């Protein structure tokens, strides 16, 4: 004989899967990140990383993600500063705008190189042990 609750196990699994996926999309927050790195005559002149919460929902699909070990709770700036090398390599792969200016006067060369990540919306999902960061395009 078949139990009347034969489909209950299936329904519970389905509901838990839907809950997990909806919680992942609801927990993930969106941040606007911009980065600027200036080198003048082979010396680091300025480095600026700006992070803010997105005030409106960003449009786009998440692209390739960066996974960082999270020991700082929900503080994105602290997390990125702790993993700065990995984050800088990651945004280099995303594509940076490069501007180079060089001048010569009185037989002296002078140059300035600026790397810029224009303000980009990132979806950030904080978990207990790691954080997933993915740009939206």
Whether the pTM exceeds 0.95: the reply is no
Per-residue pLDDT of 73-103, as tens digits, reads 788 889 998 998 999 999 988 888 999 999 9
Burial group, residue 35, by CB count within 10 angstroms (0-12, 13-18, 19+): buried
In a domain, 10, yes or no: no
As for how many domains the chain has, the answer is 1
Using pLDDT thresholds of 50, 70 and 90, give the confidence band for residue 24: very low
pLDDT value for 35: 93
User: Does the pLDDT value for residue 132 go beyond 70?
Assistant: yes
In a domain, 88, yes or no: yes
**Residue bearing tokens 């140059």:** 111
Helix (H, G, I), strand (E, B) or coil at 114: strand
- Calculate Rg over the CA atoms of the chain: 22
Counting DSSP H helices and E strands in the chain, the numbers are 3, 6
What is the residue range of 113's domain? 29-135
In a domain, 130, yes or no: yes
In a domain, 96, yes or no: yes
Using pLDDT thresholds of 50, 70 and 90, give the confidence band for residue 129: confident
Question: Considering only CA atoms, which of 32, 34, 33 is closest in space to residue 56?
Answer: 32
pLDDT value for 18: 47
């Amino acid at each position: 004989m078949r139990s009347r609750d034969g489909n209950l196990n299936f329904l519970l699994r389905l509901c838990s899967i839907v809950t997990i996926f909806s919680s992942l999309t609801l927990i993930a927050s969106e941040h606007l990140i911009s980065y600027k790195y200036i080198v003048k005559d082979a010396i680091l002149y300025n480095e600026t990383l700006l992070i803010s919460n997105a005030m409106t929902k960003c449009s786009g699909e998440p692209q390739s993600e960066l996974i960082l070990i999270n020991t700082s709770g929900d503080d994105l700036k602290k997390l990125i500063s702790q993993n700065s090398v990995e984050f800088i390599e990651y945004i280099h792969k995303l594509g940076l705008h490069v501007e180079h200016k060089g001048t010569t006067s009185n037989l002296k060369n002078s140059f300035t190189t600026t790397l810029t990540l224009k303000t980009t919306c990132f979806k950030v999902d904080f978990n207990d042990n790691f954080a997933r960061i993915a740009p939206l395009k």
